[in-house]
Structure 1
Amino acid sequence: MKILAVCGNGLGSSMVLRMTAEAVLKDLGVKASIKTADISSAKSEEADIIITSEQFSNMLTGSIDAPIVTVKNYVDRGEMKEKLEPALANL
């Protein structure tokens, strides 16, 4: 499974999203490859799930086929788990 963590430049907040998602996936026993990307390159990347903020979610909607998981608090493992589980269940 390939997951893409997306932010404006593909550096700061996407790295935080990646680390939080990795911790949650480990707790859930799910193996996945998580890459970071900026908003522009994310549109051309293939992924099973996209994790991003509401702002960037709106920019990606309609331009990619993968489910978009929108997270408000990047370090909140509870929120990440709550948002990721439905997307994982639909794969």
Structure 2
Amino acid sequence: MKIFAVCGFGCGSSMILKMSLDRVCKQMDVACEVETTDINSARGAQCDAIFTSAELAGELKGSCTVPIYSVKKYMDLAEVKEVFEKFLSDMKGV
């Protein structure tokens, strides 16, 4: 599976979120490719889901065909894991 970590420019906070998502995937033994990108490139993205801030999630809704998940604290592994588990649960329901 492939997910995008998105921030305004695709090289700052998205990198922090990517590192947290990578750690969570490893802990959960889930094979997942996590890429960073900017908000404009995320529109029309070819991936399974987008993880970003609540602010950017609001901007992306309606312009993306993939599910968008918001994370408040990118370095909080417990929160990132909780949001990632929601994504996995949603994937099973599709």
Distance 1:59 1:77 in 2: 24
Shift of 1:15: 0.2
Counterparts of 1:18-57 in structure 2, within 5 Å, are: 18-57=18-57
The aligned residue for residue 86 of structure 1 is: 86
Deviation string 1:25-82 (CA, Å, 9 cap, x unpaired) is: 1111100111111000100321101110011000111111211110000100000011
Q: What is the TM-score of this pair, normalised by structure 2? A: 0.93
Give unpaired runs (5+ residues) of structure 2. Answer: none
Give unpaired runs (5+ residues) of structure 1. Answer: none
Shift of 1:10: 0.2
The aligned residue for residue 5 of structure 1 is: 5
Shift of 1:90: 2.1
Provide closer, same or farther for how the CA distance between residues 65 and 44 of structure 1 changes in structure 2, counting only shifts above 3 A: closer
Distance 1:26 1:79 in 2: 15
> Which consecutive segments of 4 or more residues in structure 1 shift more than 4 A?
none
Distance 2:31 2:17 in 1: 16
Aligned-CA RMSD value:
0.8
Number of equivalent positions: 91
Distance 1:36 1:55 in 2: 17
